[in-house]
Amino acid sequence: MTGYIGCEIRSNIIDQKIVWYGSINLLSFGTAEESMMRLVSANIAYELVKSSPF
């Protein structure tokens, strides 16, 4: 993302195929500047898990 200083991108994967990706913490309220998208893709979920440092 460009233009957002200090923006943290989060991803949450459910059942190895549902991906929530964006700047909102799923367990809290977001602000007007934050966004989140939901994707259903086992391939994207796999790539995110594979590239995760955890």
Check the CA dihedral 46-48-17-43 and report its sign: negative
Specify the pLDDT at position 33.
78
23 assigned to some structural domain: yes
Confidence at residue 26, expressed as pLDDT on a 0 to 100 scale: 74
Q: With b meaning 16 or more CB within 10 Å and e meaning fewer, what string describes 18-54? A: ebebbbbeeeeeeeeebeeeeeeeeebbeebeeeeee
Distance in angstroms (rounded) separating the CA atoms of residues 53 and 23: 18
Residue 40 lies in a domain: yes
Structure confidence at residue 46 (pLDDT): 95
The C-alpha angle 40, 45, 49, rounded to 5 degrees, equals: 165
Q: How many domains are contained in the chain?
A: 1
Write out the chain's pLDDT in tens, 54 residues.
Answer: 344 556 678 889 999 999 999 888 777 776 677 888 999 999 999 999 998 887
- What is the pLDDT at residue 16? 94
In a domain, 36, yes or no: yes
Range of the domain at 46: 10-51
